[in-house]
Structure formats: C-alpha cells, structure tokens
Structure 1
Amino acid sequence: MHRAEPPSGRIDGQTHLFGVRVYYEDTDLSGVVYHANYLRWFERARSDLLRCLDIDQRAAHEAGEGAFAVTSIDLRYASPARLDDVVAIATRLEVRHGASFTLLQEAFRDATLLCSARVRVAFVTPGGRPRRLPPAWQDALATLLDPSGTAPAMDLEKAQS
C-alpha cells in the first residue's frame, strides 16, 4: 500500500507557517496566480493551524456541537505569485473573543508580501447561532498570544525559514 503524507505546517513561536507551491492549475492565462487561490491557500493554512493546536473541527461537527464559519475577510493583493513559486503562508492570531477570533494571514515569496487577509472566524451551532469556543480551544488559541494578551508583530525572517 502506498501512503503519502499531506503537507503540514508548523507553529513557530506565535506564528503558524504553511508552505504551498504554485502549480499550473493555480495560474491564469498569463501565468500569474488566480486571485481566488489565495483564499484556498489561506483556508488550508487555517485548517492546518487548528490541527496543530489539536482543535478537532470534525469531531465537534459530528457531535453536533457546531462548526467554524468565516464571518468576514478583507484581502489585499500586493505582488503576483507565478508558476513554481514556493509560497509561505504565515498566520497570526490578532484577537480572540468568546465565540470568535480574528487572524492575520500573509502570503510571502521569500521576503516579498504577495497577499494579506484579515479573517474573522466564528464558532456557530448547527443552527448558525454564535457559540462560545470550548475552554480547551480557547486555551489552545491563547498560546498564540504573547503574555500581554495581544498578537506579536510578524517576524519576516522567521516566516521565510
């Protein structure tokens, strides 16, 4: 039986790092990454961050507790990525509330910022109403905040290693 391990990110201090390579399917006719693909990459990085924090979204959904829903996203495009580029997605927790949190996600090629997103995610009941994050999840997310309770500044050098 053949088994391949999927790509996985890592938490470095208070930043989650996730790598992606630009494939032909990610580009448009001009060879530039199609704008919607940044959303897909950011979603993969967010899902991987939660996995790294032992937040089991699937188990919560299957138990009828709820699921995460993106409630807002603000994207800013800075520079294009192209075929075969290696892109690092750096994710930091900016704010954590009882039922939601806000992340800053940035895509880099080396030290060049390609795209950034400010994403607010809420935990909602199966009926769509906000629901307080389980205490263990709140604790896990708190590890991404510095001792003052705020998000640290992005360290571009760490984001590239």
Structure 2
Amino acid sequence: MLTKHFQLLAKYNTLANRKLYEACAQLSDDERKQIRPAFFKSIHGTLNHIMVGDRIWLGRFEGKSMSSTNLDAILFENFDELWQVRQAEDQRIENFAASLTEEFLSSTIEYTNNSGRVCNDPVDLLVAHFFNHQTHHRGQIHDMISQTEIAPPSLDMHRVIRP
C-alpha cells in the first residue's frame, strides 16, 4: 500500500534530519554558513531551502496556492531556531503521511511552478518527489559536512530506520 510506504518515508525523514542536524550542530555558525560550491551556497542555506520546499509542497497538498519563488530564502538565520522549527515541520510531515488516503494519492494537484507554468500532476508522483527532494538536498549537505572536520552521519535508509 502506497500510504504505508509514504509513512515509512516520513519516519525516515524525521530520523535522517535528526542525525543531520546533530552533525551540523557540531560545526560553528561560520562553518555552517561558509560559502561552498553548492547550489544553495552553504550548509545553512541548503537546510533553509529544504524547509522552504517542505512548506511549499505541504501547502499545496493542503490545497493552498503556494508560489515556488524565493527558493533560496533564509527563513531562519539562527541555527538553533531552524532546528526547532525543523522538528516541528517533521512532525507535521509525519501527521500528513499518517492522514494520506489512496483516494488523495490517486488525485491530481494544479499548481504554478517556478517558471510560471501551470502544472496538473498526480499526487502520488508529487508526494514521492516531496520525499526525494529532501533526500537529494540532505545528500548535498552530507557532502558539505565531509569538507569539514566533522564526520558526516550515515543516512542510508536501512541503517536509519533499523531499531
């Protein structure tokens, strides 16, 4: 059942974010904000981008009209505040996944993408993208952490989910 799969991804998301933020907390603020060869310029910028993306997609899933602009917005300058909000957002994601129905997953959502194009896409594809987007950018942060003195955490799903 697809709903169970997405609930597993939500649980993984929470646990992987916790491991990633624990590693990032070992870095100085300067190291987290250091400009690096990354699309969102820094660890801190990429952590904020994941939050921006999560809020856009969750809003769309809730039926709100959500713009894709300002994808590089820094929502939270303070890392501790960002981490607190991340934990609340992860709970929101788990609640969203727990409420998924096959009926909703078999529907479509109309939205305007970052290029201004109106899209009408299947919800099951968009929910898969939602989780894939987070994993993709966590991988970028993992790479940036490896450029520091801190060892990046293992984020392999089977290792993170394992009790």
TM-score by length of 1: 0.29
Normalized per residue, which structure has more helix? 2
TM-score by length of 2: 0.29
